[in-house]
Structure 1
Amino acid sequence: MLRLLRTVLWVVALVSLLATGAGHLYRWYQAQQSDSWALELDGRPAPSFTLTDHRRQTVSLEDFTGRITVVTFVFTSCPETCPLTLHKLATAHRELPPDLRQQVQLVAITVDPEHDTVDRMAQYVEANGLDNILFLTGARQALEPVWSGFAITVEQVPAASGQVTLLHTPVTYVLDQEGRLAFLVRDEALDPDRFAGLLERLAAS
C-alpha cells in the first residue's frame, strides 16, 4: 500500500514539473523508453529558500551558487526510504574525486518540522555518519512553500503500529552551479555509482 502511495506521489511531482509543455512530456517518454533513471529538467531556477541547518546556521539556496546542489526531502524518524536515500547520496559524494567533492553540496530538507529540531537533526547526522549532508529545518510556514515549489507532497498515513507516519514524494533534485533545476531522480532509482557519474558529467559541462 505504501509503495503504491509513493508511486502516486512521484507521478504528482512529475506532472507538476512537466505541466509547462508537451516537449517535457516527450523527453520523459524518451527517457522511459531508454530505461533512463534520471529525468533531465528544463533549467528553470530552483525555488529559493532560507532555513536553519543542523549547526544552527541560517542557510539560503543562494549560498550554494557556484556549486552543484543536491536537494532531497526526508524526516529523521523515517524507518526505511529516507535512511537508504541518505546513505546512497553520502556514498556517491564520497566516491567523487576530492577536488570535486568541494564543488557538490548535499542538502536534506525535513518534511517533519514539528519533530526535526536542530538538536535532533544534529544527533541524526552524528549517529549515522552523514557529516557530508547539510540537514535543514524551519517553521512549517517557511517549509511549506519550499515543498510546494519542489512539487513535494507530504501526507500523514496510518502505520502498521497503529500510529501515524509521514509519506512524502520520494525524489531527489540536482541543481547546477547557477541554482537551476538540472535533473530529477526517483529515490528508489538512486545508485551511488551512477549518481556520482552524473555529478561528474554535470561538473564538466
Structure 2
Amino acid sequence: MSASNARTASNPLTVLRVVWRLLFVILLGMSGVLLWRAFDTTSQPGSPDRLPVHQTVPDFRLLAHSGQAFGRIWVANFVFTRCPGVCPLLSSRMAQLQTRLEETDQPSIRLVSFSVDPEWDTPQRLSGYADRYSADASRWVFLTGELSVVQPLVRDGFQLAMMNAPPEGSHTSHGQPKRLEQIVHSDRFVLVDPEFRIRAYYRGDETAVVERVMRDIEILRHEYPPVR
C-alpha cells in the first residue's frame, strides 16, 4: 500500500478523533455553565410567576435610625457611612429604587440598609447619611447594632461576605474609627419575602439592578398581596 493510500485509509479515524474531541469540549463547556449557575449568588429565575426560595434570614434585633419597622416585602443592602468605595453607588441605587416604588404606589415595600461598620455608625450618623440620599424614614430604614450581631447576620443569615475584624490591638477605642481597609463587605442587594426567606440576590453595581428588583417585587406581590 502506498503512503498516499495509507493516509487516505487513516482519514476516517482522524475525523472520528476530531469529532470526539469537539464533543468533549462541548460537554466540558456545558458542565462549566451548570457549575457556574449552581454557585452564582445573583438572582436566578424560577418560573415566570414564582421566584426561587433561598435560605431564611434568622430573627435579629438591631437599632434603626428612624425607629420604624419594615414591611412585608423588603430589599436589603450593606453599606457604611465612611465608605469611600462602592457604598455611594449602592446607596444611589437604593435611592432610585425608593423613587420607583413611590412612582408605582407601593407603600408596603421597605428598604433596609445594614451598616457593616456598626461600631462607628451610630443611629445619629446613619440619620445624617440617610439625609444625603433623601431617604424617606417611613420606607427606607438604616440599621446598626453590635458587631457581634451584625457580622454573623450578614455572613450566616444572608450568606454574604463581610470582614470587620482588625488585627489585635487595632480595634476602635475612644471613638477612633478603624482603618477603612479593615472593612470589607458585599455589594449585593437581597430581596426578602414576609417569611424572611431570601428570594433573589442582585449585584448592586449593575445599571439595570433597579428594574430587575422592581420586576421581582411585582412577582412577589402576587404571592403576598399588599396590605394597605
TM-score with structure 2 setting the length: 0.62
Q: CA deviation at 1:93?
A: 3.0
Q: CA deviation at 1:173?
A: 0.9
Q: CA deviation at 1:121?
A: 0.3
Alignment of 1:43-192 (within 5 A): 43-55=54-66, 57=67, 64=71, 67-96=72-101, 100-131=105-136, 132-148=139-155, 149-155=157-163, 164-165=180-181, 166-189=183-206, 191-192=209-210
| 2:186 counterpart letter in structure 1 | T
Helix, strand or coil at the partner of 1:188: coil
Structure number with greater Rg is 2
| 2:58 counterpart letter in structure 1 | P
Distance in 2, Cα, partners of 1:122 & 1:164:
20
Distance in 2, Cα, partners of 1:184 & 1:31:
12
Task: Report what 1:202 is aligned to.
Answer: 220
Q: CA deviation at 1:45?
A: 2.2
Percent of pairs with identical residues: 27
Distance in 2, Cα, partners of 1:72 & 1:27:
26
| Cα 1:151–1:86 shift into 2, 3 Å | same
User: 8 Å contact 1:93–1:101 — kept in the other structure?
Assistant: no
Q: CA deviation at 1:97?
A: 5.8
User: 8 Å contact 1:69–1:179 — kept in the other structure?
Assistant: no
* Greater RCO structure (CA 8 Å; 6+ sep): 1
Q: CA deviation at 1:169?
A: 1.9
Q: CA deviation at 1:175?
A: 0.8
Q: CA deviation at 1:123?
A: 0.7
Structure 2's unaligned 5+ residue stretches are 1-32, 46-51, 167-178, 224-228
Q: Name the count of aligned residue pairs.
A: 167
Distance in 1, Cα, partners of 2:210 & 2:202:
12
Task: Report what 2:27 is aligned to.
Answer: none
Q: CA deviation at 1:196?
A: 1.7
Distance in 2, Cα, partners of 1:30 & 1:100:
35
